[in-house]
Structure 1
Amino acid sequence: MPSVYQLKSAFSDLLRPVTNRLAALGISANQVTVAAMLGSIMLALALYFGELQLQISPLFWLCVPLWMFIRMALNNIDGMLAREHNMATPKGAILNEMGDVISDSALFLAFAALPGINIPLLVILTLLAVMSEMIGVVAVQIGASRRYDGPSGKSDRALFFGVLGLLYAVGIAPGIWSTLVLILIIILLLVTLINRAHSALREVQ
């Protein structure tokens, strides 16, 4: 099954001039990684508590697809800074992996504030997303490459939640349809877990 991750190479080419400019300004890969993580946490808190306590306008949830796109760009930029501008460090590798997991978890769980969302399924999805990234990293520990196999990678999940935020902003509240989609994403995440484990084992053999 195709994954949004497969578009990463073309997206990186578009971002390379920006990346080169940031490198020239002395911006490090780690600074970009931390900025993406902090931005995700702050947006998640604003959405969650704003929805529950302040009754913010649904239009505020348009920030989700916008930020998901920006964060995807930042994730590409920090990787290119590390690879192409000799900024790769052990600290950066830890920040990158932990930053992605923390950012994803915060943004996904912010949707628990929406009326009609199935919170148990949302929590299960979030846990499986963390597990899928953990398996990707464990692959390196057993001698394989970092696994990004789909069909539900980081970019695919970001696309789903971006669309969910967009739909809520324009007046389409979560309900039976969102529950069914959450179940579908969970199934795809289970397939992703199997694919990444199988690919890693096959690679070391």
Structure 2
Amino acid sequence: MNGLYALKPWYADRLSGLRRALASRQVSPDALTAAGVVCAAGAAAALAWLPAPSAALPVAVLLAGRLAFANLDGALARDTGRTTRRGALLNELGDRAADLLVIAGLLPLAPLWLVGAAAFAATLPSWVSLAGAAAGAPRRNGGPVGKTERCLLAVVAAASGWAVPVLAVVAAGSAVTAVVRAVWVWRALGKPEAAVAAAAAVAIERTADGERGMATESDAATERAVASEKPVARVAEPASPATGRRPAPAPSPRPSPLPPKPARRGLPLDTGEVSGGITHTRSQSPADHGTQLRGTR
């Protein structure tokens, strides 16, 4: 159940021209993340200070910019080869700050406890997704009440002034979304390793235009391969009861040298010729018996 998150690829295609323009001007992805937080703060100010329905238009425009910057920062980082771990951290912190700022904009229109409950519940789906990714499951996004749905509900509150019902829907829907993601992550972690790797590859391909700083499939495979290695247990030698020391390991047996070849019986040999440091022997005839011939060539 992806909800409005299913429209993300279509939205990313609409922003492709702007992404190329930003890349050509070497705009920092971190600047886009910060711009998304600024848009969320502006929407919160419009919710708090402008009456309904006058707040609807500025809130809608600012939250559309907040979603656009959330999409562009990760895509721009990948297109320009500037994906970093710090960028991934900044992206997550920026998303959480933007969500909390928009909900805080409804403080003048609703009880404090309800605003606090909605703010807490709005963070739960992301924590579940991050915990699943840390355990080795693919990153899970989407609804039924995800980031995009929460922005749409804020626009409804700005147009109607129904802050209390909107906050109740945000709180309940975010809790349900967290449960749905937790069940999905639990099932993904229970699959065989090959199935998890295949699902991770599909998830990375589908979110190649959105999330920032995600690990590649080879990184995930490397981490799982290292984690699956088991140390080989070594059996210790029993200690001697008399000395309390372990006996020294016995030396490995060495092959015994070959026995010398027995002298050939028959005619005596003559060490007659020496060539290149090698002595060549030949048999002596009975006529030469008893006579030693030595020479060097």
TM range (shorter): 0.7 to 0.9
Residues 28 and 19 of structure 1: CA distance in aligned 2, closer, same or farther (over 3 Å): same
Counterpart of 1:192 (choices 160, 163, 177) is 177
Counterpart residue type for residue 24 of structure 1: S
2:114: which partner in 1? 121
Q: Does the CA-based 8 Å contact 2:118-2:171 persist in structure 1? A: yes
Q: Does the CA-based 8 Å contact 1:36-1:75 persist in structure 2? A: yes
- Higher RCO (CA < 8 A, seq sep 6+): 1
Instruction: Report the number of matched residues.
Output: 189
Are 1:138 and 2:123 counterparts? no
Structure 1 alignment gaps of length 5 or more: 168-172
- Residue-by-residue CA offset, 1:8-46 (whole Å, 9 max, x unaligned): 000000001100110110002111001211332355356
Take 2:97 and 2:55, find their aligned partners in 1: how far apart are those partners? Answer: 22
Are 1:80 and 2:52 counterparts? no
Take 1:113 and 1:105, find their aligned partners in 2: how far apart are those partners? Answer: 15
Q: Does the CA-based 8 Å contact 2:114-2:168 persist in structure 1? A: yes
1:93: which partner in 2? 88
Measured after TM superposition, the shift of residue 57 of structure 1 is 5.6
Residues 166 and 187 of structure 1: CA distance in aligned 2, closer, same or farther (over 3 Å): same
2:107: which partner in 1? 112
Counterpart residue type for residue 128 of structure 1: A
Counterpart of 1:162 (choices 147, 155, 164) is 155
Take 1:30 and 1:68, find their aligned partners in 2: how far apart are those partners? Answer: 18
TM-score, with normalisation over the residues of structure 1?
0.83
Give the structure with the higher percent helix. Answer: 1
TM-score, with normalisation over the residues of structure 2?
0.59
Q: Does the CA-based 8 Å contact 1:64-1:166 persist in structure 2? A: no
1:148: which partner in 2? 141
Residues 181 and 162 of structure 1: CA distance in aligned 2, closer, same or farther (over 3 Å): closer
- Residue 105 of structure 2 aligns to a residue whose secondary structure is helix
State the identity %: 29
1:11: which partner in 2? 11
- Residue-by-residue CA offset, 1:155-174 (whole Å, 9 max, x unaligned): 0101110221133xxxxx33
Q: Does the CA-based 8 Å contact 2:34-2:94 persist in structure 1? A: yes
Residues 57 and 191 of structure 1: CA distance in aligned 2, closer, same or farther (over 3 Å): closer
Measured after TM superposition, the shift of residue 2 of structure 1 is 5.3
Higher alpha-carbon Rg: 2
- Residue 26 of structure 1 aligns to a residue whose secondary structure is coil
1:41: which partner in 2? 41
Measured after TM superposition, the shift of residue 84 of structure 1 is 2.7
- Residue-by-residue CA offset, 1:84-141 (whole Å, 9 max, x unaligned): 3322111110111000101110111111113xx3442222111011122111111111
